[in-house]
């Protein structure tokens, strides 16, 4: 399914240079994108939701973006962007049509299942919209000095066939978030992700293909105001061709996140690993001829090499969860927190990292340096081109 070979083709001298840099930075993995630019003449600049970010690795919405401390630590570690945990939309009186998604979670477990996966039974942010607004405001403030984008994520009402959308809930929640965005002085449009959760795929509603397509087509028009809207698409319980239909239905979004975790109906849990990345990459291949909004990839991005597999299918950045939760013995970074160590691995691992695989793409003629510098974004193959 993946298209890169097992081993990167890179001259020995370059490998040695990379290994030396990896060793030197392992205990204090800070500002790695700047170090790579300076010392290896490689520009790792990526794009998320139209924003320029220093490298492609951001934190996907989930259990690693639920508290202010997590946001502060992730900013300090140098992540490219942070999507906050998904909040469940509320109407003006505090009612929530998707209330079932606020169920309290069980403990997370990191397991192997064709690659790593996190097993967890839980859903959205378990608190109220008001609490989330305070969390968003504090997170935006905490990230401002380092200029790390912080993005809210929302699950709004998704009606059954024939039912209307609860537009009051859409309006109230979006306006409340926009107020915080404006107060925080962020300027410009608010970037917002609308989450179509994988747990939803196990819900009866998702059995109705027409409902899913209707949601994807109609939701963007309901989220109004100065919003740059991204749709985080789920993996539905249907075949690859249906995933492509979903992508085509999503053409009015400002950007797409593709695709959230698979659903194991027998165990009643969402999962990832290679099953997820195989499916995602396969669907992106099938959709290659269609013009799509800008893409961010998600699903088993556990190496720079996997990030490039997504990039070669149109993804300008990646949203990670699982890789930031591995046992620390899995990381090449040996100092700093877990996320800094993980970033060290994603960028500088001698056979799996982003740097070595960008060199491989240059060696094989897929990308060329410009003014002596190799660019990550040159490895992104846009859909429809």
Contacts with ligand FMN by CB under 6 A lie at 60-63, 85-86, 108, 118, 120, 124, 153, 195, 197, 232, 260-261, 272, 276, 298-301, 319-323
- Least Å distance, CB 65 to ligand FMN, is 8
C-alpha neighbours within 13 Å on the C-beta side of residue 297: 34
- Least Å distance, CB 217 to ligand FMN, is 20
Cβ closest to ligand FMN, residue 70 vs residue 153: 153
Q: Please list the residues that pair with 118 across neighbouring strands.
A: 110
Closest residue to ligand FMN, judged by C-beta, is: 60
- Least Å distance, CB 281 to ligand FMN, is 13
Cβ closest to ligand FMN, residue 17 vs residue 126: 126
Cβ closest to ligand FMN, residue 86 vs residue 91: 86
- Least Å distance, CB 276 to ligand FMN, is 6
- Least Å distance, CB 55 to ligand FMN, is 16
For residue 99, report the phi and psi dihedrals to the nearest 5 degrees.
-55, -35
Cβ closest to ligand FMN, residue 300 vs residue 345: 300
Do 123 and 167 contact (CB within 8 A), yes or no?
no
Cβ closest to ligand FMN, residue 62 vs residue 353: 62
- Least Å distance, CB 98 to ligand FMN, is 12
- Least Å distance, CB 87 to ligand FMN, is 9
The 3-state secondary structure of the chain, one letter per residue = CCCCCCCCCCCHHHHHHHHHHHHHHCCCCCCHHHHHHHHHCEECCEEECCEEECCCEEECCCCCCCCHHHHHHHHHHCCCCEEEEEEECCCCCCCCCCHHHHCCCCCCEEEECCCEEEECCCCCCCCCHHHHHHHHHHHHHHHHCCCCCEEEEEECCCCCCCCCCCHHHHHHHHHHHHHHHHHCCCCCCEEEEEECCHHHHCCHHHHCHHHHHHHHHHHHHHCCCCEEEEEECCCCCCCHHHHHHHHHHCCCCCEEEECCCEEECCCCEEECCHHHHHHHHHHHHHCCCCCCCCEEEECCCCCHHHHHHHHCCCEEEEEECHHHHCCHHHCCCCCCCHHHHHHHHHHHCCCCCHHHHHHHHHHCCCCCCECCEEEHHHHCCCCCC
Cβ closest to ligand FMN, residue 40 vs residue 84: 84
Cβ closest to ligand FMN, residue 81 vs residue 359: 81
- Least Å distance, CB 279 to ligand FMN, is 12
Cβ closest to ligand FMN, residue 60 vs residue 353: 60
């Amino acid at each position: 399914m993946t298209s890169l070979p097992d081993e990167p083709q890179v001259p020995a001298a370059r490998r040695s240079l990379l290994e030396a840099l990896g060793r030197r930075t392992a205990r204090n993995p800070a500002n790695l994108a700047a170090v790579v630019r300076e010392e290896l003449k490689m520009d790792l600049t990526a794009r998320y939701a139209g924003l320029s970010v220093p490298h492609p690795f951001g934190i996907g919405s989930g259990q690693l973006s639920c508290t202010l401390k997590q946001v502060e630590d992730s900013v300090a570690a140098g992540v490219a962007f942070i999507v906050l945990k998904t909040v469940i939309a509320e109407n003006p009186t505090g009612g929530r049509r998707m209330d079932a998604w606020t169920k309290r979670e069980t403990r997370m477990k990191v397991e192997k299942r064709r690659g790593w996966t996190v097993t967890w039974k839980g859903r959205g942010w378990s608190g109220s919209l008001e609490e989330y607004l305070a969390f968003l405001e504090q997170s935006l403030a905490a990230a401002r000095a380092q200029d790390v984008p912080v993005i809210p994520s929302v699950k709004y009402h998704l009606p059954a066939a024939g039912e209307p959308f609860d537009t009051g809930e859409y309006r109230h929640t979006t306006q409340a978030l926009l107020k915080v965005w404006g107060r925080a002085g962020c300027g410009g449009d608010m970037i917002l992700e609308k989450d179509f959760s994988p747990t939803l795929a196990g819900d009866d509603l998702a059995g109705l293909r027409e409902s899913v397509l209707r949601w994807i087509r109609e939701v963007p028009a309901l989220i109004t105001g100065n919003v740059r809207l991204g749709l985080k698409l789920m993996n539905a319980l249907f075949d690859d061709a249906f995933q492509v239909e979903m992508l085509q239905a999503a053409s009015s979004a400002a950007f797409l996140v593709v695709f959230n975790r698979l659903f194991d109906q027998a165990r009643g849990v969402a999962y990832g690993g290679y099953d997820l990345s195989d499916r995602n990459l396969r669907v992106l291949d099938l959709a290659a001829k269609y013009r799509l909004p800008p893409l961010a990839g998600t699903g088993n991005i556990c190496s720079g090499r996997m990030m490039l597999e997504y990039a070669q299918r149109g993804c300008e950045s990646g949203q990670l969860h699982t890789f930031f939760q591995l046992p620390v013995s899995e990381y090449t970074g040996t100092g700093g927190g877990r996320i800094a160590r993980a970033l060290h691995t994603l960028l500088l691992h001698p056979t799996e990292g982003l740097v070595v695989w960008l060199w491989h793409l240059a060696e094989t003629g897929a990308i060329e340096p410009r003014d002596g510098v190799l660019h990550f974004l040159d490895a992104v193959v846009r859909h429809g081109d």
